[in-house]
Structure 1
Amino acid sequence: METTPSESSSTPSTTVPKKKKQRLGWIEWIRGWMYIIYEMLFQRIMASHLQNPLSLPPINNLTCIVTGSTSGIGLQIARQLAESGAHVVMAVRNTKAAHDLIHKWQSEWTGLGLPLNIEVMELDLLSLESVSRFAEAWNARMGPLHVLINNAGIFSIRGYWRFPSITACHGIEEGWMVAHCDLFMSSSPVFSFVQMVCFLQMDRSNAQTVEGSAEMKGPQKFSKDGHEEHMQVNHLAPALLSILLLPSLVRGSPSRIINVNSVMHYVGFVDTEDMNVVSGKRKYTSLVGYTGSKLAQVMFSSVLHRRLPSESGISVLCVSPGVVQTNVARDLPKIVQAGYHLIPYFIFNAQEGSRSALFSATDPQIPEYCELLKSDDWPVCAFISQDCRPTNPSEEAHNIDTAHEVWEKTLEMIGLPSDAIEKLIEGEDVRCRYGERQE
């Protein structure tokens, strides 16, 4: 029987709720890994136009805070900024190591007979209370902050790293190679790349088995605040620090918040109902924790970029250092050590990996570029690649709905009210659950 238009319009419609995304789709996952492999193989060619070390303009008028600046990329960033004239604050957990570095740098410095303008402040990103204390101490100076570089991050592998042997990848045997690791690494896709190669060589019917096997095993670690440690160190703590330092960044306007991210965010996924990966819906691995935290950082930065008024003069951007060599190969299985020896040409050293952050901190066109993205309603913040050129973050980073959920959930997890940004920009007081009142 045919239905008349009037009958059709009177019939109540039922809306099927959209199913919440549980993980990256196959196409997104494969595309993400292809981008990572491409980046690793061709990053040196793409960045061949850059000097090493990167030439910086005189920046005597800048005050810069650099987290995680006692080793690796952060060390290079802090030293090169200081040698170019900036007032550098090394925000670190190991203050003795930082003071030793400063003493060494001062003894080697020959520039104009003036000492490097560097100081040390204690900051432990595994404690949100420490982050709040740091911000309170800095804001109390009532001075300007021109550049905040959230460099510190971890890729923690504790316990046992297990993956199929090469023959097992072809289904010939089921033996395991087991290596004991206790590592803290900067972004290094090499280990994940080995895992992915094994995964892709398996028959599709065995994919679930390998996905649960070719992973970095070990107990899931939490901060004393109750958050999964990758999520806290790589995302939550830098987010809290960035927001609480807004009063000083406004005083230093035009100023910049630079988040050292990772190409690994291209295979990351964030479940806003389970950001600590404890519900059991997804099996926790170090790779899941790391990539998810880096994607969360891009999403949060994108919303922060949109919410900060142009009048504040604060630019927010993420940078990729590229695939950077770490000092952990000697502790890893021989197959991974062999990989390091086979591809040394492709991997950046720490000085090369610091260039994108240094460029973003000093290039005069960065504020204009960030404002252009905002005026064009681009859904993500500026993302600077390892070759110091703008690039596009992952497809999942463009998920606006999830980004806003990440924003709201992050504010809840770090103990800030939903209107914290607006209040701090206007000079009003904001109370953080993990510290004293901020103003």
Structure 2
Amino acid sequence: MRSETVSSRRTKKKKEGLGWLEWFRGWACVFHEFLFQRFMSSHLQNPFPLPPLNHLTCIVTGSTSGIGRETARQLAEAGAHVVMAVRNTKAAHELIQQWQKDWSGKGLPLNIEAMELDLLSLDSVVRFSNVWNARSAPLHVLINNAGIFAMGEEQKFSKDGYEQHMQVNHLAPALLSLLLLPSLNRGSPSRIINVNSVMHYVGFVDPDDMNVVSGRRKYTSLVGYSGSKLAQVMFSNVLFKKLPLDTRISVACLSPGIVLTNVARDLPRSVQVQYALIPYFIFSPQEGCRSSLFSATDAQIPEHCEKLKTGDKPICTFISQDCKQTKPSEEAHNVETANRVWEKTIELIGLPLDALERLIEGEEVQCRYGTYQE
């Protein structure tokens, strides 16, 4: 009895943030990528060369601008059937018309369409999944590209009640990935690709306070963004571990590098000016989409994922901006926290804890948002 009491007193205190050494290493990784990403990626061609992809169906979220726009266009030009999952379908249709016009005479018309998806609404995620799954068509690649970094802004919440970075960058893509598992299973071998960020190296997630409202941590947009990206990596690790090997569904996170995209429109004017003054260090969207295209099409990704899956601590592959396999942050390897992030995420997105297993088996699953049925 006495030993149990002593043991309980020695229980490790709950972690409330990164240690100073982890924090320092994280920022070192961020600055290293900023300063040397162009040098490290000098071996890559631009635009990124792709093989014929006529056999693939790909969904790309947030594909009317930036990295997503370039990703969707290049996949379509390589022959893939591309679904632009976007908030503004009018803008997407205008882009499709322009791309078809530019592509005229170079080959068959591009096989590309637009569907409405608003990641700030989990109801919208469920509706999108319902419409797509109703087709009973295979899905080969899901690219969760859409993201938000509202630098300098006050804390904002979605209509679902979740901090905006956490919802757009993590919760909504997580729900989308799970609800589309039946279609990904039909398209096996298939892939879930999450456009992440090197900023997850300085992120921290408290599964009991994912909205950062408890007061234990002071909220800043940087805290919101980096935490949401770390949560995505942790969730992806557990998702990858839980997916049966015979589904042949690969899961990968990636860093596109430091890219000048429409995310910059949310930055303070002074920061936007600094972005404009350092074009050498900043990737263009065409350069930034290379790791997405690599992750979606490289033939060795499934093999690498299979090797990771049989390791002692299964984690999903992380692709760097120079299209090489690397490791996520030290905190991302925290198995205990990752499992808690998984469970809390499932709760927040309104699914039962056994949703993954049931969806893989083709069973009906009820979601708190919308009315989901496979």
TM-score by length of 1: 0.82
2:75 match: 81
Decide whether aligned partners of structure 1 residues 407 and 55 sit closer, same or farther in structure 2, where only a CA change above 3 A counts.
same
3-state secondary structure, aligned to 2:82: strand
Q: Distance in 1 between matches of 2:254 and 2:269?
A: 30
Q: Distance in 2 between matches of 1:233 and 1:414?
A: 12
Asked whether the 8 Å contact 1:329–1:340 carries over to 2, the reply is no
2:182 match: 247
Which of 287, 293, 296 is 2:228 aligned to? 293
Asked whether the 8 Å contact 1:360–1:384 carries over to 2, the reply is yes
1:396 match: 331
Code of the aligned partner of 2:183: S
Which of 86, 107, 123 is 2:117 aligned to? 123
**Aligned: 1:305 with 2:240:** yes
Q: Distance in 2 between matches of 1:11 and 1:432?
A: 45
Matches within 5 A, 1:35-46: 35-46=29-40
Asked whether the 8 Å contact 2:198–2:255 carries over to 1, the reply is yes
Q: Distance in 2 between matches of 1:431 and 1:329?
A: 37
Which of 255, 277, 300 is 1:320 aligned to? 255
1:19 match: 13
| Aligned Cα root-mean-square deviation (Å) | 1.6
1:132 match: 126
**Aligned: 1:266 with 2:190:** no
Deviations 1:22-41 (A, max 9, x none): 01111111110011001111
Q: Distance in 1 between matches of 2:38 and 2:292?
A: 17
Which runs of 5 or more structure 1 residues have no equivalent in the other structure? 1-8, 158-215
Deviation at 1:302, TM superposition (A): 0.4
1:67 match: 61
Asked whether the 8 Å contact 1:244–1:438 carries over to 2, the reply is no
3-state secondary structure, aligned to 1:427: coil
Q: Distance in 2 between matches of 1:376 and 1:346?
A: 36
2:100 match: 106
Which runs of 5 or more structure 2 residues have no equivalent in the other structure? none
Code of the aligned partner of 2:173: P
Asked whether the 8 Å contact 1:269–1:292 carries over to 2, the reply is yes
29-38 or 325-334, larger mean C-alpha shift: 325-334
Asked whether the 8 Å contact 1:255–1:315 carries over to 2, the reply is yes
Q: Distance in 2 between matches of 1:278 and 1:55?
A: 45
Matches within 5 A, 1:411-422: 411-422=346-357
Decide whether aligned partners of structure 1 residues 285 and 246 sit closer, same or farther in structure 2, where only a CA change above 3 A counts.
same
Code of the aligned partner of 1:355: R
Decide whether aligned partners of structure 1 residues 322 and 89 sit closer, same or farther in structure 2, where only a CA change above 3 A counts.
same
Decide whether aligned partners of structure 1 residues 273 and 10 sit closer, same or farther in structure 2, where only a CA change above 3 A counts.
closer
Q: Distance in 1 between matches of 2:365 and 2:266?
A: 47
Q: Distance in 2 between matches of 1:261 and 1:331?
A: 19
Q: Distance in 2 between matches of 1:329 and 1:67?
A: 19
- Judging by fraction of residues, say which structure has more strand: 1
Matches within 5 A, 1:6-405: 13-15=5-7, 16=9, 17-110=11-104, 112-157=106-151, 216=152, 218-326=153-261, 328=264, 332-334=268-270, 336=271, 339-405=274-340
Asked whether the 8 Å contact 1:379–1:400 carries over to 2, the reply is no
TM-score by length of 2: 0.96
Q: Distance in 2 between matches of 1:57 and 1:431?
A: 39
1:188 match: none
3-state secondary structure, aligned to 2:325: coil
3-state secondary structure, aligned to 2:326: coil
Q: Distance in 1 between matches of 2:265 and 2:364?
A: 48
3-state secondary structure, aligned to 1:258: strand
3-state secondary structure, aligned to 2:6: coil
Deviation at 1:255, TM superposition (A): 0.2
Q: How many residues matched?
A: 371
Asked whether the 8 Å contact 1:379–1:398 carries over to 2, the reply is no
